[in-house]
């Protein structure tokens, strides 16, 4: 590395992830990516809303959904969003160990969420025979919720790679931007989940 990426422990930058040009571009790039992802999920939500009552005689939204599991999943993902804010807080305080710890907790909560989602899908398939091919509702449901779950899997893989790769490097202005990009992405996954539990689960149970 020709450039000096180190952080002076007595003279902290306001945001270590946006000290270098590369960091600034990454920040903007992630936001652009999030804008694009919004359009992707908007299309999937629109498709789901259009097809949710086309059950072809199979299970309906009211037959399938249960409030308890969705509430648990919501709490897991919401808390993981807060813990990643804590991680960024320690990043700004130049405390690498605590940052890794809080990102580790974030990853564990994400893993818990994923386990619940796998259980949920298995439950629908085994106990209700509700699959991707059951009905238009089935296709729309698994595409939308599965796409979100896929994003969680990708996010976890991203986080683990980052944490392992930088474990011995410590924090500098080079990898701070990488951690911050992940954190923004993770919050966005939570934003999508807020819409999923509202539009899919809660509205599916009242209508």
Catalog residues that contact other proteins under the rule CB under 8 A.
Answer: 9-14, 18, 28, 31-32, 34-35, 38-39, 41-43, 45-47, 49-51, 67, 71, 74, 78, 81-82, 85-86, 89, 92-94, 184, 187-188, 190-191, 194-195, 197-199, 202-203, 205-207
For residue 192, which of 67, 91, 79, 45 has the smallest C-alpha distance?
Answer: 45
| 45/125 with CB nearer other proteins | 45
Longest dimension (CA), the chain: 67
Contact 111, 46 (CB under 8 A): no
State the minimum distance, in angstroms, from the CB of residue 55 to other proteins: 14
State the minimum distance, in angstroms, from the CB of residue 114 to other proteins: 20
Cβ partners under 8 Å of residue 87, min gap 6: 98, 99, 100, 102, 103, 106, 179, 183
State the minimum distance, in angstroms, from the CB of residue 129 to other proteins: 26
Q: Rounded CA gap, 113 and 70, in Å?
A: 10
| 2/75 with CB nearer other proteins | 75
């Amino acid at each position: 590395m020709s450039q000096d990426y180190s952080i002076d422990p007595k003279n902290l930058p306001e945001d270590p992830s946006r000290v270098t040009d590369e960091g600034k571009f990454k920040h903007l790039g992630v936001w652009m990516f999030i804008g694009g992802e919004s359009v992707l999920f908007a299309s999937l939500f629109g498709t789901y809303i259009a097809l949710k009552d086309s059950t072809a005689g199979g299970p309906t939204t009211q037959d399938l959904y249960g409030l308890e599991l969705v509430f648990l999943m919501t709490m897991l993902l919401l808390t993981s969003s807060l813990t990643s804010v804590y991680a960024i807080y320690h990043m700004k305080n130049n405390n690498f160990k605590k940052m890794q710890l809080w990102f580790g907790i974030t990853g564990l909560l994400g893993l818990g969420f994923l386990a619940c989602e796998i259980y949920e899908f298995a439950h629908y398939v085994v106990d209700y025979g509700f699959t991707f091919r059951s009905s238009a509702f089935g296709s729309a449901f698994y595409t939308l919720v599965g796409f979100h779950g896929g994003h969680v899997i990708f996010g976890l893989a991203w986080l683990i790679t980052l944490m392992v790769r930088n474990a011995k490097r410590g924090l500098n202005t080079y990898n701070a931007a990488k951690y911050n990009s992940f954190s923004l992405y993770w919050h966005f996954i939570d934003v999508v989940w807020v819409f999923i539990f509202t539009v899919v689960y809660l509205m599916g149970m009242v209508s």
